[in-house]
Amino acid sequence: MKKATSAGAAVYTPFTLKLYDWWVLSVSNQYAWRCPTSANLLPHFVKHTGDSHLDIGVGTGYYLTHLPENCQLALADLNHNSLQVAARRVGTERVNKSLAHDIYQPFPAEWQQQFDSVSLFYLLHCLPGTMTDKQVVIKHAAMALKPDGQLSGATILGKGVSHNAFGRKLMAVYNKKGIFSNQLDCENTLHEALSTCFKDVEINVVGTVALFRASSPRVA
């Protein structure tokens, strides 16, 4: 699915990444998705991050800058621009590993069962296909975790939530352009996908965003 996956990643050019924090983390999260970054997303990210952490779909690296200095970081993203921007922002000396990778494909052997925590923040709604298709992405993330590790993330839902006018407009535009593929994503299908790969799953919906945590991976 590399070609389709690339369509969602291609929007993150050096120019758009300069606007990302303002447009996505400030404006869109507050007013379109009604899940403020500082009150909900950032605390969720920090709370579920361990000593060795893999961030998949790194954006601008905003969340990573709030982690302790001794946290060992690994970055994975299909977009080279995002990897470079995030590494510079967090400090290249803090990044132990960085990989340009299509998450629909398994991680290299040396990346598997290596991390205390893995994050999927605002990644799933950008990936092509249904939540059933995206389940393999969750599986690959689970395979990167140590047996006692945990996954956390956040994704914008398309079904089962009440979008306001701003949110509906962005959903329509982003899905038409291939930036999002989440019109059928709902809490139930997300829970099913997570439960296939993890024994312990928690989901909390704030506005139109599902904040999730999962532990006890089922995959070896």
pLDDT surpasses 60 at 24: yes
Question: In this predicted model, what pLDDT tens digit does every residue of 73-124 receive, in sequence order?
Answer: 999 999 999 999 999 999 999 999 999 999 999 999 999 999 999 999 999 9
Residue 14: exposure state from Cβ atoms within 10 A (0-12, 13-18, ≥19): exposed
Per-residue pLDDT, 151: 99
Per-residue pLDDT, 61: 97
Q: What are phi and psi of 216, to 5 degrees?
A: 55, 70
Q: Decide if 105 contacts 140 (C-beta within 8 A).
A: yes
What are the DSSP E strand ranges found in the chain?
A: 52-56, 72-77, 95-100, 115-121, 145-156, 198-206, 209-217
Per-residue pLDDT, 14: 77
Q: Determine the average pLDDT of the residues in 203-209.
A: 99
d(CA 56, CA 16): 19
Q: Closest Cα partner for 161 from 182, 179, 135, 134?
A: 182
Per-residue pLDDT, 15: 79
Residue 1 CB-half CA count within 13 A: 18
Q: Is 32 helix (H, G, I), strand (E, B) or coil?
A: helix
Q: Where are the domains of the chain?
A: 2-217
Reported confidence tier of residue 9, pLDDT bands at 50, 70, 90: low
Per-residue pLDDT, 5: 52
Q: Tell the CATH topology of 2-217.
A: Rossmann fold (3.40.50)
Q: Please list, in sequence order, all residues whose beta carbon lies within 8 angstroms of the beta carbon of residue 20, skipping any fewer than 6 positions away.
A: 12, 59, 60
Question: In this predicted model, what pLDDT tens digit does every residue of 51-68 receive, in sequence order?
Answer: 999 999 999 999 999 999
Kindly report whether the global pTM for this prediction surpasses the value 0.75.
yes
Q: What are phi and psi of 155, to 5 degrees?
A: -150, 145
pLDDT surpasses 60 at 8: no
d(CA 101, CA 57): 10
Per-residue pLDDT, 2: 46
pLDDT surpasses 80 at 12: no
CA 77-116-127 angle, 5° bins: 30
Per-residue pLDDT, 11: 72
d(CA 136, CA 143): 10
Average pLDDT of the chain, as a whole number: 94
Per-residue pLDDT, 219: 72
Q: Please list, in sequence order, all residues whose beta carbon lies within 8 angstroms of the beta carbon of residue 110, skipping any fewer than 6 positions away.
A: none
Q: Decide if 158 contacts 184 (C-beta within 8 A).
A: yes
Reported confidence tier of residue 6, pLDDT bands at 50, 70, 90: low
d(CA 67, CA 50): 9
